[in-house]
Structure 1
Amino acid sequence: MQKINKITLSLLGICSFLSTSCVQANTDKNGEEKVERISVTGSRLLSIEATSPSPVTVIGEDIITASGATDIAELLNKLPSMAPGLSSGTSNYNGSAGVSTQDLRGQGAKRTLTLVNGRRHVGSIPGESTVDISSIPTGLIKRIEVLTGGASSVYGADAVAGVINIITKTDYVGSKLDLSAGISSRSDGEKHGFNFLHGLNFNDNKGNATFYFSYNKEAEIDAKDRPYTNANWQYLPNPEHVDLKLRLLAEGKTSEEVTEITKHDDIPNNIMARRYSISASPTTVVFIGGVAYTFNNDGSMRPVKLGNSGELYRPENGLTGIQTDEGGEQLGAYEFQRLRVPVEKALFNNTINYEFDSGHHFSLDTKYVKTESESRMFPHSLYGSVPLTRDNAFIRSDLGALMDQNEMYYLPIARHFSEMGQQGSDYSRDLFQIVAAVQGEFSNNWLWEFYAQYGKANADNTTINSYYEDRWLASLDSVRDENGNAVCRASIDSTAAPIPGNDYSNCVPHDVFTPMTDDLLNYIDLEHTSSQSQTQKVLHFNTSGDLFEGWAGPIAVSLGAEYRKESSETEPSEALREGYGAGYAVSRPVVGEYDVKDVFVEANIPLLKDVFMASKLDMSLSARSAHYSEAGQNTSWNVGATWQPIDDLTIRVSRSRSARAPNISEQFTSDGEGFAWLYQPCSQNRIQTAEPHVVENCKKLGVNVFKNEDGITTSDIRWYQPGILLTSGNKELDVETANTLTAGLVITPQSIENLEVTFDYWDIRLSGLISSFNVSTVVDACVEQSSLDNQFCALLTRQPDGIITHVNLKTLNLNERRTSGLDIIANYKFDALGGTFGINSIVQKLIRRDIQTDPTLELEPTVGLFAHPRWKGTINLSYENDDFRIGASTRYVGNQRSKDTYTASIVTPHETPTMMYTDLTASYNINEQLRINIGANNVFDKETPQMPEADIGGASYYTGTSGGLFDTFGRTYFASINWEF
């Protein structure tokens, strides 16, 4: 066994961020140098020349160490080819806190395949195959290879946008201890951890055992602790624009003329301002007679303290729409939100390798990962959805008099109940994986490999600071009994019980005008735990070698077979199964599994070599036939070519068809139920302007359609009605398919040593994307078809009078997507000043990204919208000598807007500015055993752009994708020590 030495690390350093891998030179036992054939991501063939028809970006160990990253997602997310995925900075709101995923080309993490040493890895998101990349030990990584382009024919399903292949150390000798720490410039977000690696050879160096353990902990960062994220921005009517319109109308201009004039002036229609919702209040707020009132701790009433202007805005839009500006007593939209979730992770990895005298090689890799994390959000709030009645026990005389004066029987209220604590979840995850492999060589010099793999990921999700919905409603509906005592109405009148038959004799009345009592909190508090598991089993065999010697070189072939079984089980808590928790939300158990049997073949065929205009011309072919137990048969293929007409230029092209099979959640999710206000397409508002055939369809559905006193066709159905939204899986789903084209140039001028420039165009066409209809599409399309016998009406349940009560949004193969772009990469190294300077630049231009959000609509362009800027790039500068390395990296994010229709005349600002973030790193070798690393990210402390929807990272806070585009943490520092002994 050979120790990872400085020669190897130097080679990997040269490879870092290059678009192709390197050929590694080793020395045999006789001291003679020989060239090993190596494998490049995108192929199972071994070759001396490592040029790939598809672009491959390589990140070396030295770059990983210098970055200070304890989760490699931190480093990968800075690549221009990546769209925001899950990380500790983006996972507060989607049930995946503590998980890191990658999203190549913005096609979704489900369409990016993550491998470890060319092999699959068990997923960590229940019901999916998506890998938690933070579960891969950073200190064991030798390099990371990122292949962009379809690779399903080589690696199987999910490699639609590309592959991330993480190569780990498997034959380390020695001991190494890494200590690391980090903190923000605002003294929060502390990080600390350590890695310990120990490897030894045994039995005359035939075997090697490598042991690895790491522990890392990072603290949360709260949005309220950053001035640029503690409140949200909104677009509001520009007073100058309003005044101009009124003046023009007063001069006799028509509305059409006013619109045309203001369209071309320099005054934007809307401007940006901070707004605070009146309902975002730590004390109860009511709105009566045009005045907002709140209450002191003793229950006495007073007007709300408004913002600096002392004005209310949009009072006509209901309680939730009433706003004021900053300076009042209202809470900011992000007062309780997390910019980064806390994560605590321990990881153990053991690798054993043994080479038998027969030449066979055995390896066993075992890993266990334990992760703890949490998400936190707003405390429970009311925004007017549960009004108090006039006879409520706690409506005092002054408030009651105001209600009577304004003829109000129902009183909508708004409040954040901070006494209940922040809503959220505590997550506990553990992952175990074992891989046993045997490799050997047939007598004809063909290599073979067989491995068996088992992995299982478990997760417990404990919902905290929640509540029993029925107890909450019962406590709010409080009245005075015959003795004048405040009691819950349901405790003395069984017909008022929120859930008939439940016992409310111990119900604690809730005075919403004063702080919540301990007795009340104990009565309504609910904590419940759901559990999930994901299991993967793999059997794999492949063999590769030279079929025969062609006129331009050997015809290399690889072929094999693979069996994979994925199973998942989600067990909701009793509160979710029975639907007695917050919002009466119902979640059913999900139990499902599928298996897939693959056979695959790959060939590399040299066509020309060392002839005029063809120093080299190779063709690569691969195909895979997969049979899924649920989705049926599917074939993926790839055809590629590399042509080197002269030594300075290589032209590469590939065309592929890849697939993503429906995952377990998409196939087996049981019917879930949730309350929703359902839009009614036959409502009195809608039917007045409906086409005649729509009116007739509404009549056929039982809707009472009639002419009102003005002779207008209408109905007696209100626009929105309370109902149930059903979600479910679909076992009839087919695979998603992607047709991908990549074509590029690799320029390596012989006159300039160590310079490489690549240009690669790529185009991805996805069809059959698995998704669900949105509610409005289903209910509208049902009545808009010529016949009611259509797929949309089949998803609806109605009452006899035509009112929709249930909408079933099951998963279907529905949509299309078209994405294309250009990657430009430049690498240059040169020696000077006693060391080596390095320059690397990666630029992506997004040419096209058209998505179909609904199969009834045309593709919509989204280039330049949030998460998908037209331009992204990085430039990395470095200098290193034997003892010292310094690096600077600048990341560029192009301007973006939230809507394609926004222009400077409509809103200001209508798009974010271009953002540039600079990171600095430095390393120093104190001696051969000891190395120190320091660095700072976002050294200029650039703030997140201030505009609606960009204010905490490029998306609304509740979507879980905040922080993926922009740096929301501010300047951070890190330091580490590497001691090898």
Structure 2
Amino acid sequence: MKVASNNAGARPRFGALSSAVAVALAGLSTAGYVQAQEQEGEQRPLEEITVTGSRIVRQDFTANSPIQTVDQQMFEQTSAIGVETILNRLPQFVPAVTQFTTGDVQQTATNTVGASTVSLRGLGPNRNLVLINGRRAMPVDPRMVPDTNSIPASAIQRVEVISGGASAVYGADAVGGVVNFILKDDYEGASIDVRFGDTQHGGDQTVDISGLFGVNMADDRGNVMLGIERNTRTKAYAWQRDWRVADYANPRTAGGFFAFGSAAWFHNEPGTPPNNASQLVVDSIFNELPPGTIPATLGSGGGGTQFRVNSSDGTIFTGLQGNNTVARGSYRFTGPVFNGDEFCTARDPGVTCRNIDGSGDLDGAYQGLPIFVRQPNGNIKENNLYSWTSTPLERLSAFADGHFDVSDNIRVTGQAMVSRTKTESQLGLAAANINQWGAAIPFGNDMYLGNPNPYFDIPSSWIDANNNGIVDAGDQTHPDYTVNGRYGVECDAPATAAMPWLDGLPGCTQSEAWPTSPEVWRLMSSRARPNEDAWVSYEPDWLRNTIGAGRSTTNVTTTMSFTLGLEGDFPSGAHSWDVSLYTGRSDNTVNQLGSMSLVAYRNVLSSPNFGRNFSFDQNPWEFGGFAESTPSCTTGLPIMRRFQPAPGCVAMVSPSLKNQREMTQTILEGNLVGDLAEMRAGPLQYALGVSYRENGFNFTPDNLSDVENIVSSIAGLFPNEASRGEFDVTEIYGELLVPIISDGPTGVEHFNLELGGRISDWSMEQMPNLETYKALIDWAVTPRYRIRGGFNRAFRAPNLGELFLKRTQVFGTGGATRDWCSQNLNAPGAFSATAGATNGPAQVAQTLAMCRALMGSGQFEYYDNRAIGEQPTAGGLGVPNSFGNPNLREEQADTYTLGVAMDLLQDWTLTVDWYQIEIENMIALEGADSTYQRCLDINFNPTGDLNTPACRNIQRNPSTGNAGFVNRAFTNEGLAKFSGVDVQLNWSKQLADGGGLNLNVVANAPIHEITQDRADLNPVDHAGYDSCALQMQCQNYDYRVFTTVGYSRGNWGFNVRHQYWPELQHNDCRTAPLSNNCINSTSPNYDLFSAAANIRFDRYNVNFGIENLLDEDPPCLGANPANVGFALECTHSGNGATFDPLGRRYYVSLTMDF
């Protein structure tokens, strides 16, 4: 293998950094300092920052902005195939979306399911710029965020991270900094790499196979390189980890479902007046309990007692849902139950969490695992054993790079990248056909007269043979309503103990046509109005067995980009230029499985016997079947008993949804760089450039999940509107490196000034010309001590998503942090309905009155039909409707940095950099808490006017009163101020035995992380607390440290890496340091170690290592000793973004060079 050397003596090449050639000046501004160690006073010739050579190692210590370099070895010595996993080890990164984001199934215009992103400083993936060889990477969605899964790890030579703000050089997106992936180039030879990784506890197996081929041509005037890579990663299940099984088996921990998900329950139709069952009948069913123990309240929207059905025999059991403590004692569940008297825990030495009595699910699967666990208060929790710990991935990528010297001063360059990434996600839960997403079931003694609608054409069950309009002995039952008939029901026989609904008369009553069970019939018949329809709620878990998954997605993203350019030098050799044309596109297709077509589901269940032999004629006026389909369901749906429905039934009610999005990007730019003049202290260097860029997107949701759809809404997903948009920008930019002093008096070894500016002309009419600029200093006090820093002002224009997003709903994201209408909050806050709200009793009264008005009829279920102690204690997730805002203006970001780079001793180098980023007019979606405050808070709405804009943006569920919609749009009202200190320490020592010892420490310590939703609200400092706002991640931790210690000798070496996170306080600690969450949900300090080794012999290089060396489990959080019913114990955090959920894992790789 031969690699062309790009050292200081090689001919300069500028095209590889075409969109920001001027960044070379950032590296060269310290040339005097670097050269002072080599040859005092000598200036290094101008060269681009992407060249290889000895300067790369010291670049982090010599640039004027904080820079960290991640070398190729970091990507080789790991089992991870996602490059974001490697970068997130650096303290400057805050995990955004990673392989551990497993439960996201909601594809939207701005959310790419399965994509991975990076976030510098926690400011969000849309505020750092990802480059590939100095050019903008192809974005995957309208947030202008690239999917790092599309970047092949084997092609990476190194990654340069500029974390001090770089908008003047690269563009306004670089508010938080730049992540520049430098790919291999100018390669000659062939290299094959094979890598395998596996986990000790199962799942997450990785296989990487890559090849790199390069050849020189035409007497070394040109070079062509081709690389290809194939990566796979298998899924990892949560139940494969003993710590999670211990959580499942512990009866004193919360379950993994929103509710008990494996059985239907019967109640009244949402929104109808109260129609409760007879308390005497309820007491007779639960006759082993004292009378009145089980309330007879049949809610009309999820409230009241949940009377669930044992699918094995049709008997009724009941249990708790969330905090609604409405039932105690024995619950009569007949499924397999793990009682938990001797529950195992992975923390007990020698105890294993397998072969548990009473384990498995209702279909006999997952034997040895605790799915149903009886808790101390008699409740049965159901654990979600279908969830994943890590997502699977398949990636095939190819890249090519080439250049040809047309003459001594002109070179043609080209680059191409194509990748296809396939990922999957799985929520685990089936579609939530509960409450208002449930279905009506005809019930009572009224005669069922069929459905004459021609689309259904269901005949009447009663044939009036006497034509007298009265059911008598001479009448008949329609043949379809017999045991052997179409619907398979019994109607003519007299009542029996097994079928007490029978009346012995011709025809079918509604209860005969929809046979339930003796206990269900007794319960619903005892209502004050027994002939009203029943309402069935059921999470159809049978879908998991039928289609092989619950709510899940398969995501395929294809990304391609092509670049063609010219570059060269002027004859004088003092100036260089380049021109390039870049074009790219990404196509994303997401197939969503496991949801339910609400109309189809209800139509099937509206047919006798829960849809048995149901058919639907889509065009009853075409009698020959021409150009139409007639879907049918032979088995019906499993409501009263468990069975696998026919494929036709599943296809009818559970469609496969397809969402598609296309992104395009075209960039044309030219650059000029060189020396303007020779000054006393050195050459006055410059860089000039002009760029034209256009981007566009088109998002098309499946027509069934489009808000304009009139066919059916989808239970399990939320509707979105098709979105599209485009913009373009023309920019001119330049930089100057001004040497002021060289070899000056004591205390001034050199002093350089670095100036830069960029003018951007956007196509949006409301946007003025934006002027971004910077001023940095480089002051070498001595050859070993240098002060650096300066000021960057950036104006970030709104991205495509912020401008053009149409109505988009996402469950559980952007909802309120607490339900302000609750009278039972753990932390009342300022303006809630909970007694003790800091605004006083008048505020509590106003909030209660306004919430009742917002709920309408739902106030009965929320407030009156349950005790205060059953109202929510914390968040009321809600479903926000998000909208883009085409009138958005730019946000202003000012970045200040001040640091010192020190060559302490011969073997030690240290940099310490302070930074502060202030963002005004910040573009963000207004938080739901802010909307509630503007509506309810007596200081904002003293008269309690429900017609204010904020109140009109709030909708409560009219059936249950629970949190509903909050409409929110992007605004320019946010503010953020982040500050902190970066530290980097390097030490290397050549030992007497010929080996080398080295140490690298990278640390970050945030000082402030302040956000403010609006200027009229109080700012919140998130530093040290597990919280954030304005769609950012925040770094939170008081500090983070990443340490590497290595030793190498000859052809082998090894290293040990350590990541450290200190304690992170729960958000409630801010105002309630003695609260349960502060005490029991504060994350403890956390350590992760890894060890790696490599050896090279002849043409072969072997890497092997162990990650999570000590098999560290995630911390156990969330205990609540004061929990109603029993003391709730902690569960292990599933936050794989920080805490490692995979455990110990191993990898080995072999690289063969030819």
Q: How many angstroms does 1:2 deviate by?
A: 7.3
Aligned match for 1:84, one of 91, 95, 99: 95
Q: 1:380·1:418 contact (CA, 8 Å) conserved in 2? A: no
Structure 2 letter corresponding to 1:861? D
CA distance in 2, matches of 1:781, 1:318: 38
Q: 1:478·1:489 contact (CA, 8 Å) conserved in 2? A: no
CA distance in 2, matches of 1:700, 1:417: 37
Which residue does 1:431 correspond to in 2? 559
Q: 1:198 to 1:774 in 2, by over 3 A?
A: same
Q: 1:344·1:372 contact (CA, 8 Å) conserved in 2? A: yes
Q: 1:232·1:334 contact (CA, 8 Å) conserved in 2? A: no
CA distance in 1, matches of 2:876, 2:792: 48
CA distance in 2, matches of 1:226, 1:576: 36
Q: Which stretch shifts more, 967-976 or 403-412?
A: 403-412
Q: 1:779 to 1:859 in 2, by over 3 A?
A: closer
CA distance in 1, matches of 2:1117, 2:527: 39
CA distance in 2, matches of 1:542, 1:47: 23
Q: 2:102·2:388 contact (CA, 8 Å) conserved in 1? A: no
Q: How many angstroms does 1:540 deviate by?
A: 0.9
CA distance in 1, matches of 2:1088, 2:212: 33
Aligned match for 2:190, one of 166, 175, 198: 175
| Bigger fraction of residues in strand | 1
Q: 1:34 to 1:899 in 2, by over 3 A?
A: closer
Q: 1:134 to 1:560 in 2, by over 3 A?
A: same
Q: 1:92·1:341 contact (CA, 8 Å) conserved in 2? A: no
SS at match of 1:739: strand
Q: 1:592 to 1:205 in 2, by over 3 A?
A: same
Q: How many angstroms does 1:349 deviate by?
A: 0.8
CA distance in 1, matches of 2:1064, 2:994: 43
Q: Deviations over 1:503-558 (max 9, x none)?
A: 99979754522125225323312112111111100011111111112221111111
CA distance in 1, matches of 2:1043, 2:925: 40
Q: 1:736 to 1:35 in 2, by over 3 A?
A: same
Q: 1:232·1:333 contact (CA, 8 Å) conserved in 2? A: no
- In the alignment, does 2:414 pair up with 1:364? yes
Aligned match for 2:678, one of 545, 549, 555: 549
Which residue does 1:765 correspond to in 2? 918
Aligned match for 1:919, one of 1075, 1087, 1090: 1090
CA distance in 2, matches of 1:724, 1:915: 34
Instruction: Say what the alpha-carbon RMSD is for the aligned residues.
Output: 4.7
Count of residues in correspondence between the two structures: 884
Which residue does 1:117 correspond to in 2? 133
Q: 1:869 to 1:703 in 2, by over 3 A?
A: closer
Which residue does 2:1105 correspond to in 1? 935
CA distance in 1, matches of 2:153, 2:877: 50
Aligned match for 1:862, one of 1022, 1026, 1049: 1022
CA distance in 1, matches of 2:786, 2:154: 35
SS at match of 1:513: coil
Q: How many angstroms does 1:88 deviate by?
A: 1.9
Q: Which stretch shifts more, 95-104 or 381-390?
A: 381-390
Aligned match for 1:654, one of 790, 793, 805: 790
Aligned match for 1:635, one of 756, 765, 771: 771
SS at match of 1:401: helix
Q: How many angstroms does 1:567 deviate by?
A: 0.5
Aligned match for 1:823, one of 947, 972, 982: 982
CA distance in 1, matches of 2:1088, 2:855: 61
- In the alignment, does 2:373 pair up with 1:220? no
Q: Which stretch shifts more, 914-923 or 790-799?
A: 790-799
Q: Deviations over 1:31-78 (max 9, x none)?
A: xx9965333489xxx999963211111122233323454332221110
Q: How many angstroms does 1:151 deviate by?
A: 0.8
Q: 1:277 to 1:97 in 2, by over 3 A?
A: closer
Q: Deviations over 1:702-749 (max 9, x none)?
A: 999xxxxxxxxxxxxx99999996432111111222111111111102
Which residue does 1:530 correspond to in 2? 659
Q: How many angstroms does 1:921 deviate by?
A: 0.5
CA distance in 2, matches of 1:234, 1:756: 51
Which residue does 2:807 correspond to in 1? 671
- In the alignment, does 2:777 pair up with 1:624? no
Aligned match for 1:735, one of 883, 887, 890: 890
CA distance in 2, matches of 1:514, 1:277: 21
Q: 2:899·2:911 contact (CA, 8 Å) conserved in 1? A: yes
Q: Deviations over 1:13-41 (max 9, x none)?
A: xxxxxx98999999xxxxxx996533348
- In the alignment, does 2:281 pair up with 1:147? no
Which residue does 1:457 correspond to in 2? 586
SS at match of 1:188: coil
Structure 2 letter corresponding to 1:973? Y
Q: 1:796 to 1:181 in 2, by over 3 A?
A: closer
Q: How many angstroms does 1:203 deviate by?
A: 0.5
Structure 2 letter corresponding to 1:176? S
Q: 1:662·1:735 contact (CA, 8 Å) conserved in 2? A: yes
Q: 1:595 to 1:837 in 2, by over 3 A?
A: same
Q: How many angstroms does 1:669 deviate by?
A: 1.7
CA distance in 2, matches of 1:455, 1:362: 19
Q: How many angstroms does 1:614 deviate by?
A: 0.5
CA distance in 1, matches of 2:1045, 2:237: 33
Q: 2:935·2:951 contact (CA, 8 Å) conserved in 1? A: yes
Q: 1:844 to 1:796 in 2, by over 3 A?
A: closer
Q: 1:474·1:507 contact (CA, 8 Å) conserved in 2? A: no
CA distance in 1, matches of 2:326, 2:848: 30
Q: 1:564·1:597 contact (CA, 8 Å) conserved in 2? A: yes
Q: How many angstroms does 1:97 deviate by?
A: 4.2
Q: Which stretch shifts more, 468-477 or 336-345?
A: 468-477
Superposed counterparts of 1:587-736, under 5 Å: 587-611=720-744, 612-630=746-764, 631-672=767-808, 726-736=881-891
Q: 1:644 to 1:680 in 2, by over 3 A?
A: closer
Q: Deviations over 1:816-852 (max 9, x none)?
A: 1111111111100001132111100111112111223
- Give the number of the structure whose alpha-carbon radius of gyration is greater: 2
- In the alignment, does 2:195 pair up with 1:59? no
Which residue does 1:755 correspond to in 2? 908
Which residue does 2:432 correspond to in 1? 381
Which residue does 2:458 correspond to in 1? none
Q: How many angstroms does 1:700 deviate by?
A: 14
Structure 2 letter corresponding to 1:566? N
Q: How many angstroms does 1:442 deviate by?
A: 2.3
CA distance in 2, matches of 1:942, 1:23: 45
SS at match of 2:423: strand
CA distance in 2, matches of 1:697, 1:921: 61
Q: How many angstroms does 1:788 deviate by?
A: 8.5
Superposition TM-score, scaled by structure 1 size = 0.80
Superposed counterparts of 1:431-580, under 5 Å: 431-444=559-572, 445-477=574-606, 510-516=637-643, 517-518=645-646, 520-577=649-706, 578=709, 580=712
Q: 1:822 to 1:667 in 2, by over 3 A?
A: same
Q: 2:238·2:244 contact (CA, 8 Å) conserved in 1? A: yes
Structure 1 letter corresponding to 2:95? P
Structure 2 letter corresponding to 1:366? A
Q: Deviations over 1:407-443 (max 9, x none)?
A: 6965664545233431111111111100112111224
CA distance in 2, matches of 1:456, 1:147: 26
- In the alignment, does 2:263 pair up with 1:283? yes
Structure 2 unaligned segments of length 5 or more: list them. Answer: 9-25, 36-41, 268-281, 284-292, 295-305, 341-369, 374-379, 445-510, 618-628, 824-831, 835-840, 858-870, 1027-1034, 1121-1127
- In the alignment, does 2:865 pair up with 1:744? no
CA distance in 2, matches of 1:879, 1:830: 10
Q: How many angstroms does 1:977 deviate by?
A: 0.4
- In the alignment, does 2:542 pair up with 1:418? yes
CA distance in 2, matches of 1:828, 1:74: 25
Structure 2 letter corresponding to 1:355? D
Structure 1 unaligned segments of length 5 or more: list them. Answer: 9-18, 27-32, 237-271, 492-501, 705-717
CA distance in 2, matches of 1:217, 1:840: 31
